[in-house]
Amino acid sequence: MDACATLVRVPPDDRHAVPESASWHARLHMRFERVAGRTRLASREHVGPLVVQKPLYPEDDAVCQAIVVHPPGGIANGDRLELDVAAGRDAHVQITTPGAAKWYRSTREKAHQSVTLAAGEGAAIEWMPQGSIVYDGAEAAIDLHVALAPDATFIGWDIVSLGRQASGERFVRGSVRQRTEIVRDGALVWSERVVLVGSDPLLRAGCGLGGCAVFGTLVAAAADQDHGMLVALRGIGGFAGEGAVTCLPGALVARYVGNSMESAFAYFVAAWRALRPLILGRPAVPARIWKT
């Protein structure tokens, strides 16, 4: 185990501020290559507390699953996490996390998480983290940039809970800023900016979150998309909250809004189960870590 795995972050509360030296600056770079029909983790470099567990093959050699771990367990006060993943020609990479990221209350500056994914010719990247819990008073900036070759494929989602729902916490202070961009062969396919501030009327407005505390977005971008993808997702039901699907040029977008991270995750997993055979030609095999 890396030495950084022993690091522990104690979440700040209103009585105790985190000292200046407590900020984490961490970076993890991974490159995957397909060799003799097997997707391999060809190289990895990490600085600070951001690591990857041993590559797994829950399906077959073609799909490599990587579980990214942030040992401190939470993000706050100027922390900066950078994840950079590249999939070479025909490689198939599935990335997930062991649990939801926790964004603690910040007393000084914003905390940042930046994820950059690049899929080469014929490659596929599946980005399936277990979500983010943004504590009241957190200052969170979350960026995702995806670069695709002309025939590459991407399926990914992001889920955010404003406040700790299990303890009844409301998001009355702080802010969440999200930026998502997907480009294919240098051309922009999908771009979105989200800015949510604690106690802002937008959180309660019908054109915003309508009083809900959990929201999420799934985006699937494939070289060839058809109406069957839209039909498959619109048939999903049996979850708490609301879901909606839109098919745009070059991308299919599914939304969730409600009050349960578990329901949001279940909705996106169901959507992924429906989409994966259509755009990747493979049945969906849920990650074992999701059940632990």
pLDDT tens digits along 132-147: 999 999 999 999 999 9
Give the pLDDT band of residue 15 (cuts 50, 70, 90). Answer: very low
Give the pLDDT band of residue 167 (cuts 50, 70, 90). Answer: confident
Give the pLDDT band of residue 226 (cuts 50, 70, 90). Answer: confident
CB-hemisphere CA count at 13 Å for 233? 27
Residue 234, pLDDT score: 87
Residue 45, pLDDT score: 96
Please tell me the least confidently modeled range out of 14-23, 50-59, 158-167, 247-256. 14-23
User: DSSP 3-state assignment of 80?
Assistant: strand
What mean pLDDT do residues 109-116 have? 95
Residue 17, pLDDT score: 39
Give residues with Cβ within 8 angstroms of 37, minimum separation 6: 61, 62
pLDDT tens per residue, range 84-112 = 999 999 999 999 999 999 999 988 789 99
Residue 22, pLDDT score: 65
pLDDT at 72 over 90: no
Please tell me the least confidently modeled range out of 103-107, 124-128, 172-176, 215-219. 103-107
Q: How far apart are CA 31 and CA 21, in angstroms?
A: 31
Residue 168, pLDDT score: 87
| DSSP symbol at 75 | B
What mean pLDDT do residues 110-125 have? 97
* Predicted model pTM: 0.90
Burial 198-237 (b: 16+ CB within 10 A, else e): beeeebeeeeebeebbbbbbbbbbbeebeeebeebbeebe
User: DSSP 3-state assignment of 82?
Assistant: strand
Residue 187: CB atoms within 10 Å: 9
Residue 286, pLDDT score: 94
Q: How far apart are CA 233 and CA 273, in angstroms?
A: 9
Residue 110 tokens read as: 């914003």
Q: Which residue has the higher pLDDT, 237 or 253?
A: 253
Name the burial class of residue 45, with classes exposed (0-12), middle (13-18) and buried (19+) by CB atoms within 10 angstroms of its CB.
Answer: exposed
Give strand ranges (E) for 59-186: 63-69, 80-87, 92-96, 101-103, 111-119, 124-128, 132-134, 139-148, 153-162, 175-184
Q: How far apart are CA 256 and CA 267, in angstroms?
A: 8
Q: How far apart are CA 85 and CA 39, in angstroms?
A: 13
Average pLDDT across the chain, whole number: 90
pLDDT at 1 over 80: no
Distances from the Cα of 242 to the Cα of 109, 162, 214, angstroms:
34, 17, 11
pLDDT at 20 over 80: no
What is the number of helices (H) and of strands (E) in the chain?
Answer: 2, 17
Give residues with Cβ within 8 angstroms of 198, minimum separation 6: 136, 137, 171, 172, 173, 174, 175
Q: Residue 39: what residue type?
A: T
